[in-house]
Structure 1
Amino acid sequence: MLTNTPLSYGVMARGLHWAIALLILSAIGLGLYGESVPRTADTTALLQTIYSAHKTIGVATFFLAVLRVLWTLGQTRPVPLHPERRLETWAAEAVHFALYGAMFVMPLSGWITHAAEQGFAPIWWPFGQDLPFVPKSDTLAHTAGHVHKTAIWVLYTALALHVLGALKHVLIDRDATMARMTTGRAAGREAPPATQGAAAVAALAIWIAVLLFALLGSAGLPAHGTAQDEARATTPAPAAPDAATGNWAVTQGSLSFDVVQMGAKVQGHFGNWTADIHYDEGSGTGHVTVQIDTTSLDLGSVTDQAKGSEFFNVSHFATATFEGDITRKGTGPDHIATGSLTLIGTTAPLTLPFTLDLQGDTAHMTAQVTIDRRDWKMGAAYPDEGTVGFPITVSVDLQARKS
């Protein structure tokens, strides 16, 4: 029978129950397995597959949960087999409602995290990568990710209690509770169902407390950085060191880059850097030295991997340096800085074309250049572009005032 009766669950309710259970257990297993896999060049493709499957299963669980709730709202609720055991019945209902909450909080927080960050492990077809009203934001991704990691403990607890309760009915009570959900056997005595209000309120209170704890906790934890879109536009460059002798002082700016990972463009930026700029407006010549704090790197979900020994290796090389001579091309705003970039202990030539808009004592400089990571022996363990692309597009946007 497709629909429920007062004494049994229908095919639809049973099918949704077991399908969601299978998906939840699969997602948990994939997530735990992914956490145990070392982060190396050899495991990158495996990790992408694991987390893509984990995310896709989570999103599928969310949509099945929506269908299950809509179906349940229009169905008769089978009566409890032991209505006289009021506390036990109430506890079972509270656990059910907590599981319902997990079916929404877990996949939604994971999907928001994915939509708000850049890059790694795309969600598979037919689901999309983005969500309406969810911007690309490291802060939002950090918060949603913390909710996801905190809520998992509610899921673990509720799932364990649910399974223990089912085993109790099979091994101790020896009643038809499990059979009602496996074969659809009718059991119990028809009677008006007891209200579920108190159990629903208890489960809701638990979820409110957990979400508040997660949100407050995320506010106190360090994120990889602020929203990348905001950082590119408004991140101020730190003031040049006292020893700097440049005649132009940077007032604000951004240093960002794009790289292709697993076929998807990933955007990153450096939060801390300084520029010592000497420039003569009359001749259009000068000299610039830029010091970049590589530990301030933010590359979204793959920040830790990018900071590791295979890429920026920040534990051994915390600073990158660009130094070059400035010349003006003709009489217009186009300039070029010809010099070298020292990165992870390797120095290679770099020519940086840029435009300079001078308005009195203020200047606005924009530049974009594409470099090849192989010139600095970066990502040597990734010898092809299947995982990480060779080109890295670097963008600079800064404003300076004559000192």
Structure 2
Amino acid sequence: MSSSQPSPSKSAAQGPGSPIADAAPLSLSAREPHVPADRLVAEMVPPPRFDSVRFDTYIPDPKQPSQPEAVRVLSAFAAGLGSAPSAGKRRWFGKKAPAKATGPRGVYLDGGYGVGKTHLLASLWHATPAEPQLKAFGTFVELTNLVGALGFQQTVATLSGHRLLCIDEFELDDPGDTVLVSSLLSRLVESGVALAATSNTLPGKLGEGRFAAADFLREIQGLSAHFRPLRIDGEDYRHRGLPEAPPPYTDEQVTRAAHATAGASLDAFPELLDHLAKVHPSRYGALTDDLRAVCLTGVAPVPDQSTALRLVVLADRLYDREVPVLASGVPFDRLFSDEMLNGGYRKKYFRAISRLTALARDAKGLVAQ
């Protein structure tokens, strides 16, 4: 990754966790990361936030029996993936493919925001008895970015030897990409790769049975028979029993905190939005490399849908990497217009609000009391 930052001070050489005296904050807007395709493949593992999660660290809501049931089903699913080699590997050596396994070779976690679907998906990845290089984990966006970087056939070749592919936040609102990924998954299933996916029920459809599951299975066309829908009910754990996110701080407070925090970035929100338009979303993860905090001044409602969708991707990457966000301006629940929150991409916007709210709560300690 390259970025036009000033040379670090002598104290910066003490290590990434050391205080940096008199050093200017970093700037996301000055970073122009270049991410090779092999890094995209190597990073298809659960992100730092979910690196240590396991089934036994998932805390079910006692009011929601579907949550412990999901743990039971997924634990059994993981155990069943440790047996025979994939069909694709056997065909590669010219031998007869094994008989098809009984029951679905995929599972789809159907539920609303913050019920722990990503926690459970990452736990499934960790629990599957296979070497890390034989398991892949990524968001729907990261998977489409991988196809863009490698090409369709090379992506098939790269993933077909895997035991498991986990896809978080499957996007049901992009017909073109959904058909692309559906075709990819069909090829991988033929090679014996087991699949697991999550997506969000639209806010207006919560409580309407299996709307999201039916929508998912319809959109992935011929793959329906390979997936077992698994409903997970509950409220957003990020806000369950927790105080509301802190109100925005002043520009002065945010700027002071950025200068006082080693590894923090400081950007004016409008400039950052302009910069995101110049960086491919597949590089947003690299954009946040080595950041300890993101400080933003002048947060305001995003001006258009394209900008809003880029901000959603950045919010996801910051959340995955547990980077707190300190901001001045409007609260995060006012980032998106009513039209956006009632439109086809609303599930993305509600997810971003939920995650940015959690990161704002994490950032409270950066401000001197």
Q: Tell me whether the two structures share a fold, i.e. TM-score over 0.5.
A: no
Higher RCO, 1 vs 2 (CA within 8 Å, ≥6 residues apart): 2
Q: Structure 2 length normalisation: TM-score? A: 0.23
Identify the structure with the greater helix proportion: 2
Which one has the bigger strand percentage?
1
Larger Rg: 1
